[in-house]
């Protein structure tokens, strides 16, 4: 059966799963529980008579019933809680519901609703998921990893089956900042999308909260706060803690791919740079965001009929996401033959203090690689700037005349009407990406951008938005959601057994994703495929990652004709299999 993960095929001869549990213990195993889906024979063999109501239901019937339950709830946070309860009870059914209704439930399982869940996590958590590690655990992290038993099939050592870890230190949760222990909602949600979007078997995944404390005073004052009630760890002690976690992961879960998630800018960049060659790892906020935004840009330049090297970029927001996108755009322009001075001029960044330029007062080291020097300032007619000068977005747009404007600022309304109108005055089809999420943090809403550009803009957003009507025609607003990148990247790295995840892999994934935008969607304004195509997108991306891992010498040596078979064999489809007791 091609839908069975390779690593658990031996447990499922001829599509049968040999299960060591029975009775209540079986019903309490979320990955094995079928609820009313157990057939008559299984109820006899596994001691389930009397523990279930008499009716036997197909998984299709169960999906319909769960949809009725969830849709009856009037609030998205209540729907999130309902889906989490389903995941805690019956994972196969949970993933079937989500997979068959991705457009509806992805915004619930992940952004924007997950942001509300993180903010209220201490009050809505019903059953802990994943692994919680605090500074008090620094000398016993290997033991904690061994305590994590995500493989509820009962087959041998569970830790050996951990192939994918998403870890966060909870400091930069979406655009909401430090959420302390509530940040666990992010790796839990991300891993749910890895499984729904790429078919990675749930027991191979492990969400991790590196709970190093919090500086969020509201959380510290909350008597029900569940996290490590200390000020956030900083400096050398923080670095020692991260080192202990990486060392333990390499020791206990040596085949795991590690995704760093929602670390604050400075830590995100330096942790990525420090460990990316030592452990198979990537930072989704930097590299995943860079790739998905580049994909939207490549789709946009397809619609514009002008090459990437001719574009001028203004980035509002110079944090980890903004720098990650800028790095990826720079690499793509270089790969397409643009020279250094052209690239340096083409990428202009601004932050809360205005234009980022080399001589500016109190310029963070993380931003220097994209700071404009004297030559670039002179090119844009700003050669007389002093260290204390400030140029806001309107002034930057007027000077640079960008063709593409990208926002990762987390400041709602930061794309002003005057700035967008100024941009539109100098380019036929402005490309505008207000990417901050959740929805309340977006730099501008698509309807306003369309109005300010006379309906000419090509738009992608970070959070989902409804289509906008322009001159009687519906324009689709594509979502630059990292879910188009990270599930396929993780799946490909696992199949390839990659020792490293390279920048070239992210460039390849961006190009692959851009090519999957159909001409019809592009004509309707969409710069990304439909979310319903996610599994096909992830499959294509995974195959590219496997080939690139082979070609650059960091992965298994698959022949071309073997690649898709290897990828397909690792993709799990949520369906009930017949159960039998161990032989």
296: in domain: yes
Residue 29, in any domain of the structure: yes
Looking only at the bridges linking them, the beta strands covering 164-168 and 257-260 are: parallel
Span 20-33, average pLDDT: 95
- 318-340 pLDDT tens trace: 988 999 999 999 999 999 999 99
- Residues 147, 228: one domain? yes
Same domain, 304 and 410: yes
Report the CATH number that the domain containing residue 342 is assigned in CATH.
3.40.50.720
Q: How far apart are CA 539 and CA 567, in angstroms?
A: 7
Are residues 70 and 206 part of one domain? yes
The residues facing 313 across adjacent strands are 347, 404
Rounded to the nearest 5 percent, the helix, strand and coil shares of the chain are: 50, 10, 40
Question: What is the Cα–Cα distance from 81 to 553, expressed in whole angstroms?
Answer: 44
Average pLDDT over residues 264-272: 93
Q: Tokens for 167?
A: 């870890």
Lowest mean pLDDT among 29-33, 145-149, 379-383, 408-412: 145-149
Q: What is the DSSP string of 506-523?
A: HHHHHHHHHHTS-HHHHH
pLDDT-based confidence at residue 152 (cuts at 50, 70, 90): very low
Structural domain contains residue 398? yes
What CA–CA distance (Å, rounded) separates 32 from 433? 42
Q: Is 28 within 8 Å of 44 (Cβ atoms)? A: no
Residues 269 and 395 in one domain: no
Report if residue 82 sits inside a domain.
yes
Percent of the chain with pLDDT over 70: 96
The catalytic residue among 34, 80, 190, 544 is 190
Q: Exposed/middle/buried for 164, CB within 10 Å: 0-12, 13-18, 19+?
A: buried
Is-catalytic flag, 190?
A: yes
Q: 206 φ, ψ to 5°?
A: -145, 115
Domain stop point among 222, 255, 279: 279
H or E element, residue 246 = helix 235-252
164 occurs within a structural domain:
yes
Which of the four pLDDT bands, split at 50, 70 and 90, describes residue 149?
low
Give the pLDDT score at 337: 92
Which tens digits make up the pLDDT trace of 501-530? 999 999 999 999 999 999 999 999 999 999
How many domains are there within the chain?
Answer: 2
Q: In what order do the strands lie in the sheet with 131-133?
A: 131-133, 205-210, 164-168, 257-260, 281-283
Contacts 24+ apart (CB under 8 A), 297-301: 297/329, 297/404, 297/431, 298/332, 298/510, 298/511, 298/514, 299/514, 299/517, 299/522, 299/527, 299/528, 300/404, 300/431, 300/458, 300/527
Question: Is the pLDDT score of 2 beyond 50?
Answer: no
Q: What distance in Å separates the CA atoms of residue 287 and residue 65, rounded to the nearest whole number?
A: 39
Q: Are residues 254 and 309 in the same domain?
A: no
Query: Does residue 294 share a domain with residue 272?
Result: no
171 within 8 A of 262, measured Cβ to Cβ: yes
- For residue 410, the enclosing domain spans 287-483
The whole-angstrom separation of Cα 464 and Cα 299 is 18
Instruction: Choose one of 461, 483, 505: the last residue of a domain.
Output: 483
CATH of the domain at 210: 3.40.50.10380
Q: Which helix (H) or strand (E) holds 347?
A: strand 347-351
Token pair, residue 469, equals 């009507």
The predicted pLDDT at position 153 comes to: 42
Do residues 42 and 133 both lie within one domain? Answer: yes
Mean pLDDT calculated for residue range 9-33: 80
In a domain, 19, yes or no: yes
Angle of helix 289-304 relative to helix 503-515, nearest 10 degrees, comes to: 40
* Last residue within a domain, chosen from 253, 279, 305: 279
Same domain, 254 and 337: no
Eight-state DSSP code of residue 551: H
Q: Within this chain, do residues 202 and 300 fall inside the same structural domain, yes or no?
A: no
C-alpha closest to that of 495 among 543, 538, 540? 543
What is the pLDDT, as a whole number, of residue 1?
A: 26
Burial (Cβ within 10 Å: 0-12, 13-18, ≥19) of residue 259: buried
Is residue 500 in some structural domain?
no
Identify whether residues 382 and 449 lie together within a single domain.
Answer: yes
User: Does 292 lie in the same domain as 186?
Assistant: no
How does the average pLDDT of the chain come out, rounded? 93
419-441 pLDDT, tens digit each? 999 999 999 999 999 999 888 89
User: Of these residues, 80, 110, 194, 380, which one is catalytic?
Assistant: 110
Asked if pLDDT for residue 111 goes beyond 90, the answer is no
Mean pLDDT, rounded, for 46-64: 97
Assign 3-class secondary structure to 305-346. Answer: CCCHHHCCEEEECCCHHHHHHHHHHHHHHHHCCCCHHHHHHH
CA 256 to chain centre: 17
Q: How far is CA 348 from CA 205, 241, 296, 337, 399, in A?
A: 38, 35, 19, 19, 11
- Looking at the fold, whether 110 and 218 belong to one and the same domain comes out as yes
CB 51, CB 23: distance < 8 Å: yes
Distance (Å, whole) CA 155 – CA 31 = 13
**Residue 298 in domain:** yes
Whether 528 is catalytic is no
Residue 529 — φ and ψ, nearest 5°? Answer: -65, 170
In terms of Cα–Cα distance, which of 538, 583, 556 is closest to 193?
Answer: 538
- SS3 letters across 180-211: HHHHHHHHHHHHHHHHHHHCCCHHHEEEEEEC
């Amino acid at each position: 059966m091609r839908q069975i993960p390779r690593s658990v095929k031996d447990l499922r001869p001829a599509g049968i799963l040999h299960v060591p549990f029975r009775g209540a213990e079986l019903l309490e195993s979320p990955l094995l529980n079928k609820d009313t889906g157990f057939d008559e024979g299984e109820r006899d063999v596994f001691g389930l008579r009397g523990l279930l109501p008499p009716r036997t239901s197909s998984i299709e019937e169960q999906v319909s019933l769960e949809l009725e339950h969830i849709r009856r709830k009037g609030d998205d946070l209540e729907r999130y809680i309902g889906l989490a309860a389903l995941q805690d009870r019956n994972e196969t059914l949970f993933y079937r519901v989500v997979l068959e209704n991705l457009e509806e439930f992805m915004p619930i399982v992940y952004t924007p609703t997950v942001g509300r869940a993180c903010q209220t996590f201490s009050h809505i958590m019903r059953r802990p998921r994943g692994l919680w590690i605090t500074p008090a655990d620094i000398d016993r992290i290997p033991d904690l990893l061994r305590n994590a038993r995500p493989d509820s099939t009962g087959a041998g050592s569970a830790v050996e089956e951990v192939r994918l870890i998403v870890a966060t230190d909870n400091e930069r949760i979406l655009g909401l900042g430090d959420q302390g222990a509530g940040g666990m909602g992010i790796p839990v949600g991300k891993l749910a999308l890895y499984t729904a979007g790429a078919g990675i078997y749930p027991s191979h995944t492990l969400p991790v909260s590196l709970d190093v404390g919090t500086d969020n005073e509201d959380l510290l004052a909350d008597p029900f706060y569940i996290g490590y009630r200390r000020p956030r760890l900083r400096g050398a002690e923080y670095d020692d803690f991260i080192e202990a976690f990486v060392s333990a992961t390499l020791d206990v879960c040596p085949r795991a791919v590690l995704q760093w998630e929602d670390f604050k800018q400075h830590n995100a960049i330096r942790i990525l740079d420090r460990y990316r060659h030592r452990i198979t790892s990537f930072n989704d906020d930097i590299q995943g965001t860079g790739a998905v935004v580049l994909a939207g840009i490549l789709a946009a330049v397809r619609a514009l009929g002008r090459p990437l090297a001719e574009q001028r970029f203004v980035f509002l927001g110079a944090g980890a996401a903004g720098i990650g996108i800028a790095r990826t755009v720079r690499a793509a322009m270089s790969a397409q033959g643009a020279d250094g001075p052209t690239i340096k001029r083409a990428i202009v960044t601004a932050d809360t203090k205005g234009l980022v330029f080399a001589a500016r007062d109190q310029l963070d080291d993380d931003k220097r690689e994209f700071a404009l020097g004297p030559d670039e300032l002179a090119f844009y007619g700003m050669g007389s700037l002093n260290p204390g000068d400030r140029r806001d977005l309107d002034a930057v747009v007027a000077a640079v005349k960008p063709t593409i404007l990208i926002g990762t600022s987390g400041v709602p309304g930061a794309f002003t009407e005057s700035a967008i109108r100024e941009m539109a005055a100098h380019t036929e089809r402005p490309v505008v990406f207000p990417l901050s999420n959740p929805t309340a943090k977006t730099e501008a809403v698509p309807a306003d951008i369309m109005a300010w550009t006379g309906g000419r803009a090509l738009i992608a957003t970070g959070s989902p938005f409804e289509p906008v009507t322009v001159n009687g025609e519906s324009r689709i607003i594509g979502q630059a959601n990292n879910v188009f990148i990270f599930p396929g990247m993780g799946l490909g790295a696992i199949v390839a057994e990659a020792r490293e995840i390279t920048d070239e892999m992210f460039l390849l994934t961006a190009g692959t994703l851009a090519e999957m935008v159909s001409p019809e969607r592009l004509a309707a304004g969409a710069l990304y495929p439909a979310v319903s195509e996610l599994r096909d997108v992830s499959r294509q991306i995974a195959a590219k990652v496997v080939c690139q891992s082979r070609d650059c010498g960091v992965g298994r040596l698959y022949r071309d004709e073997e690649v898709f078979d290897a990828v397909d064999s690792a993709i799990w489809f949520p369906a009930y299999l017949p159960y039998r007791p161990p032989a």
